[in-house]
Structure 1
Amino acid sequence: MKLTLLLYLLPVFILCTLPFNSWAQTSIAGQVLDARSKLPLEGVTISTNTGQQTISSKSGDFMLITADASVLYFSYLSYQTQTITLPVSAPELKVYLQPTAAALQEVVVTGYQSNRPLLETAGALSIVGSDVISRFDESSLVRAVNTAPGVRMDERAPASYRLSIRGSTLRSPYGIRNIKLYFNGMPLTEANGTTALNLIDAASIGSMEILKGPTASIYGAGTGGTILLEPKRAEADKQQVQVGATVGSYGFRKYTATATAGNSKSNVLVQYARQQYDGYREQSALDRHVLLLSPEFYISDKQTIAANILYTDLYYELPGGITKEQYDQNPRQARGGMSGSVRQQASIDLQSINVGLKQEYKFSDNWRNTTSVYTLHRFRENPFNTDYERVANQEYGGRTSFTHSASLGSIPTVYTFGAEFQRGFEAARTYNNNAGTPDSLRTDDEVIAKTGFIFGQAELELPADFILTLALSLNDTKYNITRLKQAATGQYKYNRDFKAVVSPRVALLKKLTDQVSAHVSISSGFSPPTEEELLPSDGSLNKDLEAEKGINYEAGLRGSTSNNRFTYDVVGFYFRLNETIVSRQNALGVAVFRNVGSTAQKGIETALGYTLLENQDQLLTLLKLWTSYTYSHFRFKEYQKDQEDLSGNKLTGVAPHTLTAGLDLNTKPGLYFNLTSNYVDKTLLNDENTVFADSYFILAARAGYRKSIARHFELEVFAGADNITDQKYSLGNDLNAFGGRYFQPAPNRNYYGGLTLKYKL
């Protein structure tokens, strides 16, 4: 009787409990994307701590039904596994996976607007991530950038940067020229052709994509290259506040406060940094305040809006170049004499605000657009050895690009086209410098610079794993110079229009295997003079200066073996540059410029990496070796200087051989160690090839310990050293310097240490 009753009641019990089981189940939906490119990832495994599992679709979407799971795991080959604690507040998750160190060749790059993996990108480029920047003290980007082959960054004084790609140092006695920079997709290079990279704090950079040579037709005029800077971003569904402090030799102090928040609707970075330095040399102190607000809002699956607000208050002193005799006697001294740097208080005091807004909109699966607009306002006071400058800048500009995916017959094709425009206004006055005080007025100028271009590109996926790229840009630059006052010549107006020039690019890539590809390309470049080259600070006007034009031939091989443990990227190039612009110093120490004919630049760039070990479950979680090597055979092909023929001479300021190598070691308890070595060959300092800087070999190291404290805190303690070999070398030599003042000595062996504390909300 009882058994019969139980048999009747059992189906009733099952039917009654089924709804309760279904009510306890939770549906979780979302999308998985690459953290750098923001592109969807297909095939990501999403699992729970209770055993449920699913795979992301081609669009990166996933949906998982679970009953009592508390943790989600996202795992994908060559990406860091990410863990998310349930429940989550957002109805749909957006999960961003970070590529692992051993998967550099699988990182998707954005430099050519088509968002392809590096293995499918036909062009020479290097990626410098935040992991490379944090190998050092984060006082500047110099040592991180110099790990990339074919790229050289100098620091003539703290915050006085010079950057060159493949020998573009020739026309850069100071500052950054002939290279275009963008920050978060918005122009950082101004309409007058100059870039104030020292306005950005190194710790706020998440990644740098460096496109080398005149290969970036979609970025307009330029023969040196293009650099794309991206700010750091928070991890998905993580909010944290971080404070840090670093102190070091020669009065180095740096303090940072950072807040980041990431979720399915937004990703926000707010950072304040204060950096001070007493200086290794006389008259080389620095004081910099940087405030960056960089939010990104995911309005919908179709629309993303990002903004940048960058405010900088920067003061740094200029010690000036010294002679070989002074360099050997006391490298810490500044330029002396009646017009010496200390007596004239040579320095730069700069206040700047840069505001930008960017929208990415996806009209359909085949059409998308990215549009950005920006404005900047800047004021600079520059007492120099020979004069005193006061300059105010105002500028605005914008860029838009459309991308369309289609088929040309049976051939998948991606079209990209758009335009960019910039307009800058500068009011500049120069005075006699009376011991750091402006004296009588020399010149009073107003300069309007306008530059713009239209561009187009088509990428065709041909049979047999070939990818053909056809691109061109039409560039135009104009200057309107009004001299309101000059004691010697009086008022005048001068207009210069560097006529529109077409810069084409053709590239072909062959994917040999799933891990190896080869590429070749031919491209031309056009680079008009900057405003500072047309109008140097001695009051002269360079009416005869012409734009540089060049053609670049390139071939490369990149790939990986042993399950991405060994990666390689090798490029050979030949670049022919006409109307080459070089700089020389006159008797006043002012840089002046002229066209000298042509150069022939041949080189090889190699980047290698080998991951000996990468396993998050072992005591030693990462052990990696890497190196980059650059060979430069650069010559003046045609160069007539007055009565002297310098044709065939080696290019000034370019070392024939540079080599950087490093070791990275991480442990499960949180200990880490980085070692970086850098060799630079003997470098010629004048066009006559009679003066050179000695070769040098330096070492840098950093060790630290990261530890989670309780549930919300994470502490990192670190210490490091630079120039461990205690080499005497000059970083940022003055080329073709008047009076033999070629040398800008770098610090000897120096140390730093600090800590950061994170609070995770």
Structure 2
Amino acid sequence: MRRTFVSCYLLLSTLIALGQTPATQDSVTVLKEVLLLEELREKQTTGIVPSQIIGEKIFDNFSPIDAVSAINQIPGVYVLSGALNTNRITIRGIGARTLFGTDKLRMYYNEIPVTNGSGFSTLEAYDLENLSQVEVVKGPKATAFGTNLGGAILLSTKEALGNSSTFSNNTTIGSYGLFKNNLSVRHADKGLSVALNYDYLDTDGYRENNSFQRDGLLLNTNYRIDSKNKIGLLINYIDYTAQIPSSLGITAFNEDPTQAAFTWAASKGFEANKYTLVGIHYEHNFSPRLKNISSVFYTYLDHYEARPFGILDEFTNGFGFRSRFMGTALLGGMETEYSFGAELYKDEYNWEEYANLYADNNGEGSLQGDLFADNKEFRTQLNTFGSFTADLSEKLRLQLGLNVNNTQFDFRDLYNTGDSNQSADRKFRTIALPSVTLNYHFTNYQSVYANVSRGFSNPTVEETLTPAGVINPDIAQETGTNYEVGSQLFLLKNKLHLLLTLYQMDVRNLLVAERIGDDQFVGRNAGRTKHQGLEVAINYRWDLTSMMRITPFVNYTYNRHSFVDFVNGDDDFSGNPLTGVPKHRINSGLQIAFKDRLFWNTTHQYVSSIPLTDSNSLSSDPFHVFNTKWRYEQKLSSVFSLGVSLGINNLFNVRYAQSVLINTQAFGGAEPRYYYPGNNRNFYTGIRLRYTL
């Protein structure tokens, strides 16, 4: 029944698109502005390696605090969100077994790596309103941006363009006491470009113990010294405090999804974060055929988290450099492109754990008790990379890439002394990870590609430690090989855009989290998985009149992910579908634009059931969620413009799990807690004022 629904949905959408009136050649440009596209043309970031980009016009279709829904438009990418501060990004099933946070991919902010030394990336540290675009490379084929199994996510900030000065303020209010304000000042004049943003966000949240408050400051400035030299400074500062309602058991989820987990409510659990990123980059053009972009950067995270089972007090100092050369050359009369460079990231992770005496605090919540752990870890990761791109014929291009990774951890136990001290280090073997991409263009608007690439994932801090707190010498990196073919077609005078991707990724030394206590886990290598999938994106532009445009789209993801070899004690899960991954996902939508002033956008998300246990004995319920938004933009004068918007999320008030945990166990007679409830029907409205000189 489910397969029939998916097939009929895609067929109907395609037939509707094919039946519409053709249009002009400039439709390709307009489609790029309105809808999600995967582009197989050259990019500054990845050469001919395919990636997908969403930009400001996609972001405008959602609430300014809803980066999750915007990114979920990308086939093959699924963000599970338990709260604004509890997100987990999975790409083609990679990362689905990570219980908290995002790992197994590499994230960059204006080409500065912001993934920490243990492989975790934090989406909530970046305000959606400050981004110009998000580019996603799925699988380990980015080469210059790491070869993690999940891929790479490249965040780019807005910049001032041309010779102008712009002042913009966007205020949003909504359900759950939502108040958000983003103030932006951008200026460009001759060689100087400055963008300064201040963001404030405050919301009580849908659930008990669910408030979130954030202040953010972003400075991005560039100065062109002369025709060959350019220098820039990036500063991003985030200060947020978020309460943690945690996950619920099925009974609590069905009876009252607004409640927090009992122990998290009793302890009034929360986290407080102060995050700073400072980066300086320098660009030098040696000649019209060769340039270099280099950056040095520093990151600091001060994190305090009051959990029922212990209070975590930690800080991380990170620093590094990145240098990349890009050039072109004639080789045997053939025009070629090349790129090579290196990226070094080092950080020092310090963490202490204290007893939480909330049970003895007269209902006042968490109370810090005695210290029971004090640790430090030095983490180093070095990536060297290079790629070579050449035209094998007028229509066929080849790109070869190679990334060489070296990772090491140095763990220091500062709490235990003598024979009980657990200090140790771990150096993973140097690993070479190649990538080969072929791209054939039938015309400028029809192309096919094929890619084979190798990738890896490092274990996290928790996964490298045994239950006794010592580094596990047997834990190994996950490795995998990705095979991928795809095509993109612009049809019906470029009004219809069709994207199709097929892939298979074979992963060895699968890292799994084994629960040893209430919200406490350790990792181990447990076998092999096979990730097979189909990704389809269909976009169409239909101009009803010269003033009215309708733009439907359907993005479909089919996941056939399974354990190839997975034995856990006496249980053999080989052949079972991979835990934590839905088999089907559909993201569809319809945008109606009138005079390019009034926009009405409605989106739909369907997620099929998700296996919650390795035995596949329990699954989440499938769900459909609809969001809609109206937006009106009007120039009031030559320098002033006004924008107003109104949005409704979860239009039909569906009860659903927006995020799930896998393989949870019950402790103290309580139910296992698998579910993070999604928000009920909620509203928001915004007003944006802009002044441009």
Question: Is the TM-score greater than 0.5?
Answer: yes
Query: Would you say the 8 A contact 2:55–2:134 is kept in 1?
Result: yes
Greater alpha carbon shift after TM alignment, 560-569 vs 325-334:
560-569
Pairing 1:330–2:256 present: yes
Q: Secondary structure at the match of 1:211?
A: strand
Report what 2:476 is aligned to.
546
Q: 1:102 to 1:428 in 2, by over 3 A?
A: closer
Query: Would you say the 8 A contact 1:605–1:631 is kept in 2?
Result: yes
Report what 1:458 is aligned to.
388
Report what 1:41 is aligned to.
none
Report what 1:110 is aligned to.
43
Distance 1:487 1:377 in 2: 29
Pairing 1:317–2:249 present: no
Q: Secondary structure at the match of 1:732?
A: strand
* Alpha-carbon distance, 1:235 to partner: 3.6
Task: Deviation per CA, 1:676-704: give whole Å up to 9, x if none.
Answer: 11100111111111111100001101102
Report what 1:555 is aligned to.
485
Distance 1:77 1:612 in 2: 13
Provide runs of 4+ in structure 1 moved above 3 Å: 76-81, 98-114, 486-490, 535-543
* Alpha-carbon distance, 1:540 to partner: 5.8
Distance 1:311 1:383 in 2: 22
Q: Secondary structure at the match of 1:569?
A: strand
Q: Secondary structure at the match of 2:208?
A: coil
Q: 1:237 to 1:389 in 2, by over 3 A?
A: same
Greater alpha carbon shift after TM alignment, 728-737 vs 98-107:
98-107
Return the letter of the residue paired with 2:490: S
Pairing 1:661–2:588 present: yes
Distance 1:425 1:109 in 2: 37
* Alpha-carbon distance, 1:79 to partner: 8.4
Pairing 1:581–2:511 present: yes
* Alpha-carbon distance, 1:214 to partner: 1.1
Pairing 1:377–2:377 present: no
Pairing 1:640–2:581 present: no
Pairing 1:449–2:376 present: no
Query: Would you say the 8 A contact 1:554–1:574 is kept in 2?
Result: yes
Report what 1:68 is aligned to.
none
* Alpha-carbon distance, 1:107 to partner: 8.8
Report what 2:619 is aligned to.
692
Distance 2:370 2:32 in 1: 58
* Alpha-carbon distance, 1:298 to partner: 2.8
Q: Secondary structure at the match of 1:178?
A: coil
Instruction: Determine which of 662, 675, 680 is the counterpart of 2:607.
Output: 680
Distance 1:112 1:716 in 2: 32
Query: Would you say the 8 A contact 2:27–2:541 is kept in 1?
Result: no
Report what 2:361 is aligned to.
none
Distance 2:544 2:130 in 1: 27
Distance 2:678 2:155 in 1: 26
Report what 1:752 is aligned to.
684
* Alpha-carbon distance, 1:77 to partner: 4.7
Distance 1:334 1:235 in 2: 46
RMSD of Structure 2 on Structure 1 (CA): 2.2
Q: 1:122 to 1:411 in 2, by over 3 A?
A: same
Task: Deviation per CA, 1:699-754: give whole Å up to 9, x if none.
Answer: 10110211222332111111000111211111121111122210111111111112
Query: Would you say the 8 A contact 1:443–1:487 is kept in 2?
Result: no
Distance 1:584 1:495 in 2: 22
Query: Would you say the 8 A contact 2:351–2:374 is kept in 1?
Result: yes
Return the letter of the residue paired with 2:341: G
Report what 1:14 is aligned to.
none
* Alpha-carbon distance, 1:669 to partner: 6.9
Matches within 5 A, 1:490-505: 490-505=420-435
Distance 1:343 1:257 in 2: 37
TM-score (ref. length: structure 2):
0.91
Instruction: Determine which of 89, 92, 108 is the counterpart of 1:182.
Output: 108
Query: Would you say the 8 A contact 1:154–1:163 is kept in 2?
Result: yes
Q: Secondary structure at the match of 1:447?
A: strand
Percent identical among aligned pairs is 27
Query: Would you say the 8 A contact 1:169–1:653 is kept in 2?
Result: no
Query: Would you say the 8 A contact 1:309–1:353 is kept in 2?
Result: yes
**Tell me, which stretches of 5 or more residues in structure 1 are unaligned?**
1-75, 82-97, 115-120
Report what 1:649 is aligned to.
576
* Alpha-carbon distance, 1:353 to partner: 1.0
Q: Secondary structure at the match of 2:462?
A: helix
Distance 2:419 2:169 in 1: 55
Distance 1:234 1:539 in 2: 49
Task: Deviation per CA, 1:526-558: give whole Å up to 9, x if none.
Answer: 222122322489846444321001001110011
Larger Rg: 1
Instruction: Determine which of 530, 539, 555 is the counterpart of 1:609.
Output: 539
Q: Secondary structure at the match of 1:532?
A: helix
Matches within 5 A, 1:356-395: 356-395=279-318
Instruction: Determine which of 149, 160, 165 is the counterpart of 1:239.
Output: 165
Report what 1:743 is aligned to.
675
Report what 2:213 is aligned to.
287
Return the letter of the residue paired with 2:176: Y
Return the letter of the residue paired with 2:692: K
Matches within 5 A, 1:139-288: 139-288=65-214
Query: Would you say the 8 A contact 1:709–1:715 is kept in 2?
Result: yes
* Alpha-carbon distance, 1:489 to partner: 7.2
* Alpha-carbon distance, 1:99 to partner: 5.9
Greater alpha carbon shift after TM alignment, 105-114 vs 244-253:
105-114
Report what 2:52 is aligned to.
126
Q: 1:202 to 1:718 in 2, by over 3 A?
A: same
Distance 1:466 1:232 in 2: 34
Task: Deviation per CA, 1:138-172: give whole Å up to 9, x if none.
Answer: 11310000000000112112221111101113342
Distance 1:194 1:439 in 2: 28
Distance 1:105 1:736 in 2: 35
Matches within 5 A, 1:482-561: 482-486=412-416, 490-535=420-465, 539=469, 541-561=471-491
Pairing 1:427–2:360 present: no
Return the letter of the residue paired with 1:742: Y
Distance 2:417 2:58 in 1: 51
Report what 1:409 is aligned to.
332
* Alpha-carbon distance, 1:253 to partner: 1.2
Q: Secondary structure at the match of 1:343?
A: helix
Query: Would you say the 8 A contact 1:664–1:673 is kept in 2?
Result: yes
Query: Would you say the 8 A contact 1:312–1:353 is kept in 2?
Result: yes
* Alpha-carbon distance, 1:359 to partner: 1.9
* Alpha-carbon distance, 1:275 to partner: 0.7
Q: 1:100 to 1:752 in 2, by over 3 A?
A: closer
* Alpha-carbon distance, 1:251 to partner: 1.4
Number of equivalent positions = 658
TM-score (ref. length: structure 1):
0.83
Distance 1:552 1:759 in 2: 48
Distance 2:660 2:175 in 1: 23
Q: Secondary structure at the match of 1:625?
A: strand
Q: Secondary structure at the match of 1:520?
A: strand
Matches within 5 A, 1:82-101: 100-101=33-34
Distance 1:457 1:446 in 2: 36
Report what 2:524 is aligned to.
594
Q: Secondary structure at the match of 1:684?
A: coil
Distance 2:652 2:617 in 1: 28
**Tell me, which stretches of 5 or more residues in structure 2 are unaligned?**
1-24, 359-365, 667-671
Distance 2:584 2:418 in 1: 47
* Alpha-carbon distance, 1:109 to partner: 5.5
* Alpha-carbon distance, 1:387 to partner: 0.8
Report what 1:87 is aligned to.
none
Return the letter of the residue paired with 2:689: L
Distance 2:373 2:623 in 1: 43
Instruction: Determine which of 369, 381, 384 is the counterpart of 1:439.
Output: 369
Q: Secondary structure at the match of 1:143?
A: helix
Query: Would you say the 8 A contact 2:423–2:470 is kept in 1?
Result: no
Distance 2:46 2:96 in 1: 30
